[in-house]
Structure 1
Amino acid sequence: MLEVGQVTGTHGLNGVIQVYSHTRPAIGIAGYSYWWIGKNTHACRRFHVVRCWQHGKRILACLSGIDTVEDAEALRGWKIWVSREDVPVDNDEYLWCDLIGCSVADAKRGLLGKVVRLEEYGAQDILIVRTPPDAGEQGEWMIPFTQQIIGKVDLSAKRIEVCLPPGMEACFTSRY
């Protein structure tokens, strides 16, 4: 299961829910016919998405079996998941959740650390890589996830090989 959003509230009186989407673009969450909703993946329920649309800056959805504001209110704060099989990934694409925890190594500098999160910065996504506990200097690298820098991604080995160009030291933030 992949977490794709969270129920943040209700809209109107007919069971419409308001959703915070983790997908990019946010309306991408509308592309899934079924959502699993609950407090965690072990205590969730499958819902058919009858309709999902953008209303201003908010994402709204109608789910089968959720017909009243009380039904919708009961889902507030719960997370939304989709089945991994429902998420198409091309050969040169990666899900963020699969990259988190991967070791990152540079040919010249050796092991840089592990991916702790990713961030969006317009033109490309950024890997946030925390140095290992035994590193000489503790801190985090901000590494652009681009073809020029990312050499090889081996998800089965949980390893990413990078080739950092000169000047990338500026993308390292030391822990004080």
Structure 2
Amino acid sequence: MPDSLLQLGRIIGVHGLNGTIQIHSDTRPAIGIAGYSRWWVGAHAMAAKPVRVCRCWAHGKRILAQLEGVAHIEAAEALRGQLIFIQRTQVPVGEDEYLWQDLVGCAVVDVELGPIGRVVALTDYGAQDILIVRGDAHSVREGEWMIPFTSQIIRDVDLKTAQITVALPEGMDACFTPN
């Protein structure tokens, strides 16, 4: 089951006395997590158990939820720090679309430079997603790259071989931090 689960967020606290939990959502927009009526909750994917979401809503800048079987503050407090997952099949992925979770760990190879590292994280600064790529002793340079995930730079994503081919434009050295 763990390979079929995608992490969507985590439980960061409680709200009130009736078992309402506060969520940190990894979805964009954050309230997107409310679109799923069944979550898997646990310390990690192997320990996650299914739970029905009775209600999930935005409250100011917070995301709150009520889960079936969690009706008191004590039960909600016991969930603090737990991760929230959904089944991968619940997320439609179109052609040329990728889940961030699938890109982490992929080798990144530049068409001219060769191996530049592995994706360690992704982030979003608004204009586009950014690959955080860490180069090691087997890479052209040791350090960290911030590579925009755009069609001008990304040439190919092969999830079967876990490799992303890029064509870094001139001036990309500004997006590199040496070790």
Q: TM-score range by the shorter chain?
A: over 0.9
Following superposition of structure 1 onto structure 2, how do residues 29-108 of structure 1 map, counting pairs within 5 Å?
Answer: 29-108=33-112
Superposition RMSD in Å: 1.2
* 1:136 CA drift (Å): 5.5
Q: Could you tell me the TM-score, scaled by structure 2's length?
A: 0.93
Asked if structure 1 preserves the Cα contact closer than 8 Å seen for 2:10 and 2:84, the reply is: yes
Could you tell me whether the CA contact under 8 Å between 2:122 and 2:129 is conserved in 1? yes
Please, which of 163, 167, 178 is the counterpart of residue 163 of structure 1?
167
Give the letter for the 2:129 counterpart: D
Distance 1:68 1:133, change over 3 A: same
Decide which of 13, 18, 21 is 1:17's aligned counterpart. Answer: 21
- For residues 147 and 137 of structure 2, the distance between their equivalents in structure 1, rounded to whole angstroms, comes to 19
Aligned to 2:124: 120
1:50 Cα shift?
1.1
The change in CA–CA distance for 1:23 and 1:45 in structure 2 (over 3 A counts) is same
**Residue ranges of structure 1 left out of the alignment (5+ in a row):** none
Note the C-alpha offset of 1:86.
Answer: 1.0
1:146 is aligned to 150
Aligned partners of 2:83, 2:7: CA distance in 1, in Å?
7
The number of residues matched between the two structures is: 175
User: Relative to structure 2, which stretch is displaced further, 127-136 or 149-158?
Assistant: 127-136
Q: CA deviation at 1:43?
A: 2.1
- Of the structure 1 ranges 53-62 and 131-140, higher mean CA displacement relative to structure 2 is found in 131-140
Moved over 6 A (4+): none
Deviations 1:5-46 (A, max 9, x none): 111111112111111111111111111111111112222221
Residue number in structure 2 paired with 1:6:
10
Residues 51-94 of structure 1: CA distance to partner in whole angstroms, max 9, x if unpaired? Answer: 10000010000111111112211111111111111111111211
Aligned partners of 2:108, 2:45: CA distance in 1, in Å? Answer: 29
